[in-house]
């Protein structure tokens, strides 16, 4: 049974493909806009500029996404470490409070026992 937010690997593959495709299409649109402003380009030159622009733009996108993934992993690691430290601290405090309550209960029991005699 899958937990909420948990996806099958194929879902991630499709999502990655769609994201890559969107970046590719956006790069093509940007290249088309760029080439349209350069009216002196021949069709072959415009295709060459488009190809180079799309390659460069996709490389920038890949590097940006890679950097985001690396930073996300770093932040996740930092948060997990902090969460574990806070959890250990809270456990220590609960244990200390429980010991104090037990000690007080024993002390009150002893004191009550002495007063009754």
Average pLDDT, the chain: 90
Judge contact between 27 and 57, C-beta under 8 A. Answer: yes
How many whole angstroms separate alpha carbon 4 and alpha carbon 15?
17
Mean pLDDT, residues 67-95 taken together: 97
- C-alpha angle with apex 94: 91 to 96, nearest 5 degrees? 110
Give the DSSP letter string of 39-98.
Answer: TT--HHHHHHHHHHHHHHHHHHHHHHHHHHHHHHHHHHHHHHHHHHHHHHHHHHHHHHHH
Give residue 112's pLDDT: 86
pLDDT digit string, tens, across residues 46-72: 999 999 999 999 999 999 989 999 999
Taking only the tens place, the pLDDT of each residue in 16-46 is 889 889 999 999 999 999 999 999 999 999 9
User: Does the pLDDT at position 7 exceed 70?
Assistant: no
């Amino acid at each position: 049974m899958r937990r909420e937010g948990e996806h099958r690997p194929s879902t991630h593959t499709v999502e990655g493909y769609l994201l890559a495709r969107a970046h590719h299409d956006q790069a093509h649109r940007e290249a088309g806009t760029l080439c349209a402003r350069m009216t002196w380009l021949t069709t072959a030159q415009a295709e060459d500029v488009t190809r180079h622009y799309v390659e460069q733009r996709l490389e920038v996108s890949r590097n940006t996404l890679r950097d985001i993934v690396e930073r996300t992993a770093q932040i996740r690691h930092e948060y997990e470490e902090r969460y574990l430290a806070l959890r250990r601290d809270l456990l220590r405090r609960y244990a200390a409070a429980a010991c104090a309550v037990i000690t007080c209960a024993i002390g009150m029991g002893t004191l009550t026992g002495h007063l009754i005699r």
